[in-house]
Amino acid sequence: MASRSLRYSVAMCGRFTHFLTWREIVALYRITEPSAENAPNLQPRYNMAPTQEAPVVRHNPETGGRSLDLLRWGLIPHWAKDAMIGNKLINARAEGIDTKPSFRSAFAKRRCLIPTSGFYEWKREGTKKQPYAIALKGGEPMSFAGLWENWKTPEGEWLRTFTIITTEANEFLAPIHNRMPVILHPTAHTLWLGETPAKPETLKELLKPYPADQVEAWPVSTRVNNVRNEQADLWDRLEPRNSA
């Protein structure tokens, strides 16, 4: 899903949603930066796509607090010569993440959380692909495990980007797609953000499928295929057609 086009085939994880307000994020993630006066203007997003900016939670080692900033989706490694590589790095496979050149530095030093209300995945049905919305059964927010990077543009400006880590799908989601984003339980946030020292092996143990009995999925309109569509009803369950 590396293209900027308005219609394209999407990779896992290629689209997600975000309905959380600033106040909700502050409470859920104990955000200390920025202050409420300087908080980003978070609008509900029902079709977040690569190359767009999304809210990302990071640990600030200098202050010891947690920050929420808008970063561009599609990680650009610090050594990259061209920003276009970010279009291919919207996801990072958990397998071998500590050794892959594009991700190993960020895995060691720049881990983050991506707050989300849920995501979309496409299931092949015959010659077509049916989009599904996927969320936690209780309706609570998800926290994707992510990595972030700083990249200097040819003009000398710093661009901050992120990627979403994926793993094997659990048994519930496997019939839809063989991969899923890594969803971290709140008890793992401190470890993942680096607020508590951890060995790479311990961190990699967090990158596993979320329990199958805690997620749900439902078919949605194919209008989600087009990134221009951002209406709230994209998240609505697709009602079966009347055969009469």
Residue 156 burial class via C-beta count within 10 angstroms: exposed 0-12, middle 13-18, buried 19 and up: exposed
CB burial string 189-210: b at 16+ within 10 A, e below: bebbbbeeebeeeebbebbebb
Catalytic status, residue 112: no
Paired tokens of 194: 């680096």
Q: Is 106 helix (H, G, I), strand (E, B) or coil?
A: helix
Residue among 168, 187, 200 nearest 100 (CA): 200
Paired tokens of 103: 């991700």
Residue among 113, 119, 120, 134 nearest 184 (CA): 113
| Cis peptide bond upstream of 13, omega within 30 | yes
From the candidates 121, 149, 171, 230, give the one annotated as an active-site residue. 121
**CA–CA separation, 191 vs 187, rounded Å?**
8
From the candidates 13, 53, 62, 230, give the one annotated as an active-site residue. 13
Catalytic status, residue 121: yes
Paired tokens of 60: 């600030």
Q: Which residues are catalytic?
A: 13, 121
